[in-house]
Amino acid sequence: MKERIKYCNLCNIDFSTMYRVQYKNPKEWVFVCEQCLLQLKKKYSDYKYGGTWKK
Ligand SMILES: [Zn+2]
C-alpha cells in the first residue's frame, strides 16, 4: 500500500496525523501537526478547523 506524505505547513515535519486548518488571508487550507495546531489556536482566534487527516 502506498502512503502519501504530508508535511506540516509550519514546521515541515511529516506526521502520521495532520490537521486541516485555515488561518490566513487569503483563505487557504493547510495541513499542520498537533503541536502547530495548538500554536495556531493561541495566535489566531478565527482559525477554521477542517478535519483530521490520517495516513
Ligand atoms: Zn508542525
Can you spell out the DSSP letters for 26-54?
Answer: S---EEE-HHHHHHHHHH-TT-EEEEEEE
Write out the residue range of the structural domain in which residue 12 sits: 1-55
Residue 15 Cα to ligand 1 middle (Å): 8
Give the sign of the dihedral formed by CA 25, CA 50, CA 4, CA 37.
positive
- Residue in the structure block whose three cell numbers are 495532520: 18
Q: How confident is the model at residue 2 (pLDDT cuts 50, 70, 90)?
A: low
Q: Are 18 and 33 in contact (CB under 8 A)?
A: yes
Please tell me the predicted confidence (pLDDT) of residue 6.
83
Residue 25 Cα to ligand 1 middle (Å): 19
Q: pLDDT digit string (tens) for 12-54?
A: 999 999 999 999 878 899 999 999 999 999 999 889 999 999 8
Residue 11 Cα to ligand 1 middle (Å): 4
Q: Is beta strand 48-54 parallel, antiparallel or unpaired with respect to 17-22?
A: antiparallel
SS3 label, residue 21: strand
Residue 7 Cα to ligand 1 middle (Å): 8
Higher-pLDDT residue of 1 and 6 is 6
Count up the domains in the chain and report the number. 1
Please tell me the predicted confidence (pLDDT) of residue 4.
66
